[in-house]
Structure 1
Amino acid sequence: MKYKLVALDVDGTLLNGNGVLTQKTINAVNKAYHSGVEVVISTGRSLQQTRPILDELEIEGILVSHNGATTIKTDSKDIIYEFSYDIQEVAEIIKYCRVHGIQFSVCTAFDFYVEQINEYQIELFEKFNLNPIIHKDLLTLTDKVMKFTVDDQERVDGWRDIKLKQLRKTSDGFFQDIIHPNAHKASALEQVLYKLKIDRSEIIAIGDFYNDLEMLEFAGLGIAMGNAPEDLKEKADVVTTSNNEDGVFHALEEYLF
């Protein structure tokens, strides 16, 4: 099978345990890119967070960001497709969080908003290359929401019991992303394939965690990293070595070149 597209997760996949791109990984991705294969970075990160990685890889193209909520052309910032919603759909949670001092944030296609920020978050945002915009009232935001996040550091709770009619929570924990029900990496890739006229059998997807599952199952060849949970490995077509053992390099060398 001649594969025409490679979809790559970032954290735990492209990046090793120290959050670094190894030279072997850079070389393998660059080799694929320059051979004419469409390289799609598919991540929970935003374009802003992913830009340093794209620059280090020396590639441009299509980015599936916010775990599939936004699909963007990285050079022009044109939005190819989005699974978004209006801020009013999480109004009840926002009001509850305000009253109880629970931190929350909003991602639009290109921006990251908070209403307040503490020392813990400053450190966290710097670590993940996030530049927050402080907004006095996010309920007046007119841009569409790609991802709404609650970070209940003090385990105040109560907000988790608030029912959401049309949205999906990505976990049951005290740190949750709230997204459009159809937003995941596979649904975004489906739109990319339609645009590029590529069949799903002609793509390789590589990932390491549960937010990669739909993508791995959707792809013609779904490859789990060696550091992935065991039940995710069982659902993949094949397993490569871990992110600390240049798993992406070994996968591309074996199945693409």
Structure 2
Amino acid sequence: MTHKAIAFFDLDGTLLDDKSQVRPEIKVAMTQLKENNVLPVIATGRTEVEVAAIMKEANIDSDIIMNGAFIRVDGTVIFSDLYDKNLIEEVYSAARENNDAISFYNEKEIWCNEHNKFLLGAYNFIHTPVPPVNPDGYLTKPVNMLLILGQDNDNYYASKFPQLNFYRNTPFSLDTVKKTVSKGIAVKILQEKLGLTKVPSYAFGDGPNDLALFEACDIKIAMGNAVASLKEQADFITKKNTEGGIVHALKHFELI
């Protein structure tokens, strides 16, 4: 298929409503995009375990997950960036020193070292199941992303680990990936591997981890509920995610 454009969608606060659900008009819009030869791609901090049902409901077959650490297009894996075990142990140790919990992510599963109040708050916030406890699972399983569950130690982690990016996407959690990983870098990898570097790209987002996505795309669309820093970078500010913002913007740019 020859794609005439690519549209990248963040999930929470963007493609999903306030209950983390796909509204019926979103599925219709994604189907129309594909019929118009526009490739829809989910770009999220979550992993496929959390978004499989969402992707099916929204009729989307491609994703950039774990803030750019993994890419799948039409069922085929085209990129996977893994953590070094030694670095995992350093972050793990720092989290325990701060009485924060930690979750481990790959595209197939999520597990954690303990269930504390921050971890329970984080997964409740995005309406997904609490992961099982397996403190030593990282020793035998691949890890693409870490999640630090805590509230008051952002500056500490940023200072201690300059080689990592930390994205606070809920009041309870910090998405943690390598500096060489971002949604924006993943966009470039996807474009190059699919030969779509000259095809117009559209970014839809609402949070701070969408800044890199905006930088990588031609047209930047901020949701009405987006953070101020993202709106400042936007070419277009659409309605809120709970007010039909996605469909409004897609129609504005004549993609559907």
Query: Does structure 2 conserve the Cα–Cα contact (< 8 Å) formed by 1:146 and 1:180?
Result: no
CA distance in 1, matches of 2:208, 2:155: 26
Q: What is the total number of aligned residue pairs between the two structures?
A: 250
CA distance in 2, matches of 1:209, 1:200: 26
Which residue is equivalent to 1:132? 131
Q: CA deviation at 1:161?
A: 7.8
Q: CA deviation at 1:55?
A: 1.3
CA distance in 1, matches of 2:166, 2:60: 32
Write out aligned runs for 1:153-192 (5 A): 160=157, 163-164=160-161, 166-170=163-167, 175-192=173-190
Normalised by the length of structure 2, the TM-score is 0.84
1:79 and 2:82 aligned: no
Query: Does structure 2 conserve the Cα–Cα contact (< 8 Å) formed by 1:222 and 1:236?
Result: yes
CA distance in 2, matches of 1:157, 1:186: 22
Normalised by the length of structure 1, the TM-score is 0.84
CA distance in 2, matches of 1:142, 1:73: 23
Q: CA deviation at 1:149?
A: 1.8
CA distance in 1, matches of 2:93, 2:77: 30
1:65 and 2:52 aligned: no
* 1:24-82 deviation digits (Å, cap 9, x = unpaired): 2221111102322111111111111111111111232x21001111112463xx43113
**What one-letter code is carried by the residue in structure 1 that aligns with 2:54?**
I
Query: Does structure 1 conserve the Cα–Cα contact (< 8 Å) formed by 2:30 and 2:59?
Result: no
Q: CA deviation at 1:89?
A: 0.6
Query: Does structure 2 conserve the Cα–Cα contact (< 8 Å) formed by 1:47 and 1:74?
Result: no
Q: CA RMSD in A?
A: 2.8
Aligned to 1:7, the other structure's residue is in SS state strand
Aligned to 2:160, the other structure's residue is in SS state coil
**What one-letter code is carried by the residue in structure 2 that aligns with 1:167?**
L
**What one-letter code is carried by the residue in structure 2 that aligns with 1:219?**
C
Q: CA deviation at 1:245?
A: 1.2
Query: Does structure 2 conserve the Cα–Cα contact (< 8 Å) formed by 1:40 and 1:64?
Result: yes
CA distance in 1, matches of 2:111, 2:172: 19
Write out aligned runs for 1:197-216 (5 A): 197-199=195-197, 202-216=200-214
| Cα gap change, 1:253 to 1:19, in 2 (>3 Å) | same
Q: Which runs of 5+ in 1 are unaligned?
A: none
Which protein shows a greater Rg?
Answer: 1
CA distance in 2, matches of 1:223, 1:100: 37
Identity of aligned residues (%): 26
